[in-house]
Structure 1
Amino acid sequence: MLMSNDSTTETTSQQSEKRVVRNDEKSRYEIWVGDQLGGFTEFEIDAQRRAVFPHTEVDPAFGGQGLGGTLVGEALADVTARGETIVPLCPFVKKYLSRNEVAGAVIDWPGGPRA
């Protein structure tokens, strides 16, 4: 994972054409395929340092390439590394977390803890 010192943090996956970028100006993580925006997951950091994820979207032109999973996985790993608690409101983020472990993540499940 690469971190830059400016307002945008980049994380580069092992696939050379795809990169995930934290765009603080737009409050979202973006996945880029070459020079094209492939999708994004929105977040908001609240007063309790919780990263609330309300919405994720992948351009249909990039469907079936696993961009959503790469995007959300890297976004969740980054907020975890920053010490922020994850609040998954987005159905895609909830599904991702129910199927994948994010090392060290603290999750505040809406409606209470998961069984």
Structure 2
Amino acid sequence: MQFTVPDVPERARFEARDESGAVAGVVTYQLTGTIIVYTHTEVDPAYEGKGVGSTLARAVMDDARSKRRTVVPVCPFLSGWLGKHPEYDNIVARSTRKVK
């Protein structure tokens, strides 16, 4: 199954949509200047286990990189995903404590 991930700025979120246009999952964010805080990732239960979360994570991180933004990963899912994808370390703001 293929998903597209458009930014929906009027709702401050990215949406993963399937071929029919149904929303399979979202990542919400807060944007201030060049800092983007990813606050929450949610996948519709009907799409769990189909790679929606990873598709969303890669899409939002690639978008941030292309727009030269600094990412603050408040969302536990995204934070965990980033732990397995060091290729994004150069755009992620890290602290000495982990947000749970």
TM bucket by the smaller chain? 0.7 to 0.9
> Post-superposition shift, 1:80?
1.1
Paired residue total: 97
Q: Which has the higher contact order (CA 8 A, sep 6+)?
A: 2
Please give the residue correspondences for 1:92-107 in structure 2 after superposition, counting only pairs within 5 Å. Answer: 92-103=77-88, 105-107=90-92
Q: Higher helix fraction: Structure 1 or Structure 2?
A: 2
Does 1:88 pair with 2:73?
yes
Measured against aligned partners, the alpha-carbon deviations of 1:3-29 in whole angstroms (never above 9, x if no partner) come to xxxxxxxxxxxx6x3111111111111
Name stretches of at least 5 consecutive residues in structure 2 with no aligned partner. Answer: none
Among all aligned residue pairs of Structure 1 and Structure 2, give the percentage whose two residues are the same amino acid: 27
TM-score normalised by L of structure 1: 0.76
Give the match for residue 31 of structure 2. Answer: 45
User: Aligned Cα RMSD in Å?
Assistant: 1.9
Q: Higher strand fraction: Structure 1 or Structure 2?
A: 1
Name stretches of at least 5 consecutive residues in structure 1 with no aligned partner. Answer: 1-14
